[in-house]
Amino acid sequence: MNWYKYSSPAAFYPLAGKLIPWFAIPSIILFIVGLYVGFFVAPTDFQQGEAYRIMFIHVPAAWMGMLLYVLMAFYAGIGWAFNARLASMMASALAVTGAMFTLLSLITGALWGKPTWGTYWAWDARMTSTLILLFLYIGFISLQAAIEDPRRADRAGAVLAIVGVINVPIIYYSVQWWNTLHQGATIRMMGKPTIAAPMLAAMLIMLAACWLYAIAIVLYRLRIIIREREQSASWLAQGATS
């Protein structure tokens, strides 16, 4: 099958439209199943009581936040290197969803921290790195929003995303370093409770649900971006001729 024909935005648009329900509906089902298993099948944790159940949304959200950033940088890089508009549009589509998941993981992390460790925010390495990841997302989104020319926005975003993705390990290790310096031995804030099988199952189901949701919503946003660019391009062309 010739996949290359889908590399043009115009051709991918209808394909994306057909794909969305195939991801959206299973996502909703998995959310329901995951929450059921997480709340009614998984037992109460010995150490953390009921609070640990936040993990079923916190951990998937954190992973999605990180995964989507890497994907975003990947697509942006491809779009820049191969001059492939669709890949660049995909990067732009991923950004908002990634930022949303990162924000969600910060909020749920704070709400998990309060009953478990007594404080909403402790500057532990993981949460601090997640906060910085959110800043990186905001930077990418702001940069693209500030540039009017779509191709310049695509390429500038690519440079920023690639610089960002290279910096993420540097930032992560420097934050770990900082945390160790100021707190003695690294305190594991989000110590995972001993994982019973239903807990792990619920977490993985929720992760799958978030993953499918992300695909569906990103494809939906991608279609809108394709439409927006196509419209403004044709209006510009019409403006030139009328």
Site for another protein in 87-106 (CB under 8 A): 96-97, 100, 103-104
**Residue 82 within binding range of another protein, rule CB under 8 A:** no
- Which residue in 30, 59, 125, 136 binds another protein (CB under 8 A)? 136
Pick the binder of another protein from 33, 70, 171, 201 (CB under 8 A): 171
Min. distance of Cβ 178 from another protein in angstroms? 5
Cβ distance to another protein smaller for residue 73 or 136? 136
54 is a contact residue toward another protein (CB under 8 A): yes
Residue linked to tokens 């290790």:
173
State the minimum distance, in angstroms, from the CB of residue 32 to another protein: 13
The nearer residue to another protein, 5 or 227, going by C-beta atoms, is 227
Applying CB under 8 A, which of residues 7, 119, 167, 186 lies at the interface with another protein? 167
Q: Which of 83, 152, 195, 233 is in the footprint of another protein by CB under 8 A? A: 152
Q: How far is the CB of 86 from another protein (least distance, A)?
A: 18
Map residues 207-236 to x or -, x wherever contact with another protein holds by CB under 8 A.
Answer: ------x---x--xx--x--xx--x---x-
Write the DSSP string, 74-101. HHHHHHHHTT-HHHHHHHHHHHHHHHHH
